[in-house]
Amino acid sequence: MKTKSVKIGHVIIGGGFPVAVQTMWKKPLSKNTDEILSEIKRLKNMGCDILRFSVPDSTSSEYLGKLIPDSVIPLVADIHFDYKLALECIGFGIQKVRINPGNIGALWKVEEIVRAASDKNVPIRVGVNGGSLPRDLQNYGNRADAMVLAAERELNVFEKLGFKDVVFSLKSSDIESTVSANSTFSEKYQYPLHLGVTEAGPLIPGIVKSTIALTKLLAQGIGDTIRVSLSDEPVNEVIAGNEILKASGLKNDGVSIISCPRCGRASFDTHKFVKKLEPLLYSLKKNISIAIMGCIVNGPGEARDADLGITGSGDNVVIFRKGKIIHRIKASEAVKIFTEELEKID
């Protein structure tokens, strides 16, 4: 579905632009500006396009303000109750604000935020959450319909104020409500959608739930930015988000990893090798496939289409390109030589 485009710093979402991947900072903001900035760089290298911070108080907004000028990706301030914090962050030059207007309170406070955002061309995400709906909608028959209604109420406020730079999210912790609410909303409106399953859970269950919900929506062309919410590190949310986009055919500028699960035949520790190479592989912007196989029996043969592969062969390992062996080396040299070969591929 073609949505209107919204500019968040240098990243444009909606309007047919690539689906952006985002995550959230999981610790309190602090005065360790350099440390946080270098972590932001690492997240960007791993494929993060936008990063959100919780802003519970003025000290946090000041710390966030110090990050904004030097951050390599656009930052979002997540405001829950105090509209003044949104105004402070907008004053510091934040690239986007996320609010749940139901939590902000009186309409005039939302209006204040919208006026300030409008003056500085700062977009706002309205985050509707199935678990924190307005009181009168909490026992509404159908959760998805209640979420859409909640979003429409907010939309009316923004439209009355003539503010169009709005992104919506309709998140629930259950898959069906998330899919249904976003499908209904996108049939009616052209505002960009931020997709996610809220409180999706720990690493594996969270990725499974998010993948099911997000792929259903992305397959219909719904969704302009995604976040995989996990009880885990932000970097894993970023990796999961990018893998969902790659598996959905919406992203092809990253390495596709084929790796065997390992069995009793393995003479090469694929698990250890994958772990070691993962940070490099996820950060490479090369549309290639690599294969990491445990034994020669199914090594180059099964992975003959891979641009680069490695497998065990007796006491040695072999590195192959498109099924052809190019190195026969000791396991201790594997990381170094494999990395050198990776760098040679355009």
Residue numbers of the site for ligand SF4 (CB under 6 A)?
260-263, 265-266, 293-295, 297-298
Judged by beta carbon, residue 65 or residue 300, the one nearer ligand SF4 is 300
Dig out the tokens for 120 from the structure: 């500085």
At residue 258, φ and ψ (nearest 5 deg) are -105, 120
Report, in Å, the least distance between residue 303 CB and ligand SF4.
9
Judged by beta carbon, residue 26 or residue 322, the one nearer ligand SF4 is 322
Report, in Å, the least distance between residue 302 CB and ligand SF4.
7
Judged by beta carbon, residue 155 or residue 303, the one nearer ligand SF4 is 303
Judged by beta carbon, residue 260 or residue 310, the one nearer ligand SF4 is 260
Judged by beta carbon, residue 206 or residue 294, the one nearer ligand SF4 is 294
Report, in Å, the least distance between residue 270 CB and ligand SF4.
7
Dig out the tokens for 131 from the structure: 């678990």
CB 124 within 8 A of CB 77: no
Rounded Cα distance, 17 and 223, in Å: 11
Report, in Å, the least distance between residue 259 CB and ligand SF4.
9
DSSP-assigned states of every residue in 322-346: TTEEEEEEEGGGHHHHHHHHHHH--
Long-range residue pairs from 54-59, CB within 8 A, at least 24 positions apart, any chain: 54/24, 54/25, 54/29, 54/78, 54/80, 55/29, 55/79, 55/85, 55/89, 56/80, 56/85, 57/82, 57/85, 58/84, 58/85, 58/88, 59/29
CB 147 within 8 A of CB 130: yes
Report, in Å, the least distance between residue 262 CB and ligand SF4.
5
Judged by beta carbon, residue 247 or residue 263, the one nearer ligand SF4 is 263
Question: Which residue's beta carbon is nearest to the bound ligand SF4?
Answer: 294
CB 24 within 8 A of CB 226: no
Report, in Å, the least distance between residue 157 CB and ligand SF4.
57
Dig out the tokens for 307 from the structure: 């641009």
Rounded Cα distance, 257 and 277, in Å: 11
Judged by beta carbon, residue 12 or residue 274, the one nearer ligand SF4 is 274
- If one counts every other C-beta atom within 10 angstroms of the C-beta of residue 168, the result is 27
Report, in Å, the least distance between residue 294 CB and ligand SF4.
3
